[in-house]
A = this chain, B = another copy of it.
């Protein structure tokens, strides 16, 4: 029976949950309750049930952790080194998820196994297991995908300013971009819809709000490189 339990827990999902707030890119970390790595910060994750597909499992686990559904989740790598976990080989499929921190549906940390905190990606502590490596791999994938997938709009509120969009790009790519060139380029794609609305409650000139037009986006990019990516 002990043997059986061991095999049941061979698989897990770990999530790098990205959020964007106050001009900074952040990820969600939990603090571990149990050994090994008790009290260490770690990526949220959980075991996969035996009768569950991994996509389902990823959605379930993320829901349990954040109370949110319908997030953009994407698998980016599977880690299965014999030594990555002290208890023996545990294979983990890593996903990243993108969430709007200022979402109406607030994140409910009470639903998390242990307290959860947002950490700026530029200043992460050492993480349990090989989670630092998992994070780095995920962050690099995110970076790459930024240029060919509409990732940014999952991290921003529905209505956003071009400055916010630019800050997000800068945070992900970790470099400064030129304001005029950035705007010219983004608008030239033709999938940003300018709204008749401006920022509220700011103590300076309010910026125009835009939203991402998914419909136009797919029309423009449907024949880019086959159907699936």
Q: Which residue of B lies closest to A84 (CB)?
A: B53
Q: Does A229 contact B (CB under 8 A)?
A: yes
Give residues of chain A (170-214) contacting chain B, Cβ–Cβ below 8 Å. Answer: none
**Interface residue A11 (Cβ < 8 Å from any Cβ of B):** yes
With beta carbons under 8 angstroms apart, the residue of B4, B53, B77 that contacts A82 is B53
The complex is assembled from copies of this chain, and their number is 2
**A140 and B229 within 8 A (CB):** yes
A225 at the interface (CB under 8 A from B): yes
Q: Which of A132-175 contact B (CB under 8 A)?
A: 136-137, 140, 143-144
The majority secondary structure among interface residues of chain A is mixed
Q: How far is the CB of A61 from chain B (nearest CB, A)?
A: 13
Interface string of A13-56 (1 = CB under 8 A from B): 00000000000000000000000000000000000101111111
16 contacts between A and B (CB under 8 A): A4-B7, A7-B7, A7-B10, A48-B80, A51-B89, A52-B82, A52-B89, A53-B82, A53-B89, A54-B79, A55-B81, A57-B80, A80-B93, A91-B91, A136-B228, A144-B229
Q: Point out residues on A near B: beta carbons under 8 Å.
A: 3-4, 7-8, 10-11, 48, 50-57, 75, 77-83, 89, 91, 93, 136-137, 140, 143-144, 225-226, 228-229
